[in-house]
Each structure stands twice: as C-alpha cells, then as structure tokens.
Structure 1
Amino acid sequence: MNLALARQNPQAIRQYLREPVKVNPVILDKVLNSRIGNVILDQVTQVIHTRSREADKQALRAALVISASKDRQITLIEVIENNPTNEIEVEGDRLETAYRQLRRLQGNLQDILGF
C-alpha cells in the first residue's frame, strides 16, 4: 500500500491499520448478521472493497470473523490480509472512518454482552 498516494500522514494511517479492537468472534459473527452489523459493513466497504464492488460485505464479514478468531481482536491490516478475495482496494484517505466503525462494532458487542 502506497501511503503517500493517500495524501495522509503515513504514521496516522499505520496507527489505524495496526490498532487492535477486542471482540468475541462468536458474538461478532452474530452481530455482523444483524441490522446494525449490515450498516457497519456497508460503511466499512466504502473504505475496503474489491474493484468490482461485488460481494464486498460477504468478503468483509468473513475477513472480520477470521481475524477475530485468531486472537479475539481485529486490526484493519488483518482484515485486509484475511479478505478472501484476490484484489482489495483501500481508500487510504478514509481509513480513520473504517477504524471508527470497528470501534463502534466493539461497542455494540459490549452492549449486547452487558459490559
């Protein structure tokens, strides 16, 4: 990923890519298949998507669950790496938005669990 092309501070982009969001993978899967999960997936696929924009939500859902299953946390770089499609595009100037949506997802999971 060429961070200079994003016209953003490379250090800030690296932070958004690497900052973990703790999640329970089982609850994550359930939430991603709910109405709020679909809204979050819609928003994140505006930042991380395929060139064709086909099956983006399904691919992102799979990447999120795979990422969480490994260590009960998600980073955007893991989501990109675990995406099952061969070709991923990342809107570098909007990575902060994607990171904030993951944090929002974490909050929704905590609400469901009663934390």
Structure 2
Amino acid sequence: MTTLKVGIADYDEMKARTLRIARGEEKPAADDPKVWFTSTESFAQILSSGNRELLRVIHEQAPGSLEELSQLTGCAKPNLSRTLKKMVTYGLVRMEKGEGRKVAPKVLYDRVALELPLLEPRKVEGGQP
C-alpha cells in the first residue's frame, strides 16, 4: 500500500486555490496533498483511534460485506455505513462490489502524511498574501 498525503486549509483557502488552478494561475506540485481537511479537528475526527481500528480490521479481516464488518466489530451497520461514507469522501476507503448486492470496504492506504504549515502566510484570491 501507499501513503496518502493530506493538508489542512479552510474552505476559503481551498476555494481560492481551486480557482487559481482552474484559471491556470497555479499548478499543483506532484508532492502537494491529495486530500484536504478544513481543520485539524476534522482530520483528528476522521482518523480517531476508533476509526483507525476500524481500518485495521477491514485491512486484516477483509470482510465481504457491511454485515460481516458489523459482526467483526460489534458496531451497528448504519453507524458503519455513515463512517465509511465519510472515509470514502476522504479517499481512505473504497467500497467494492461484493457478492449479489453487497458492498465490501477496502482500505486504500496504510499511512497518512499530514502537511501542516505553521507560519506560512495565507493566500487569498489572486494569489496575494
């Protein structure tokens, strides 16, 4: 597996960056984060110890369905579904077609690298600090 590089930027920063990229004013570097969180709190929430344990179980046990994952973890299927949907939006998990109408979660990364500049000036619309 591989490392997912993530960054932290508030909504306005992400929107301004996306617009600069769309206008051709900025080109993303190959080593830029692939996934962005709006806060360190949202990053910590999605990668809480419980959620990391869930990822470990998925990786090691390879459940063939949400029902099987529910049995392995003791978590209610609706709660698992909600958590996994969030993980899918952040690119941590993929839901693969299973047997019949079942879907099976698959962990895509074995590590996350957080890029968190502490003193970098914010860029606003037009690329000016």
Normalised to the residue count of structure 1, the TM-score between the two structures is 0.32
Which is richer in helix? 1
Larger radius of gyration: 2
Structure richer in strand, relative to its length: 2
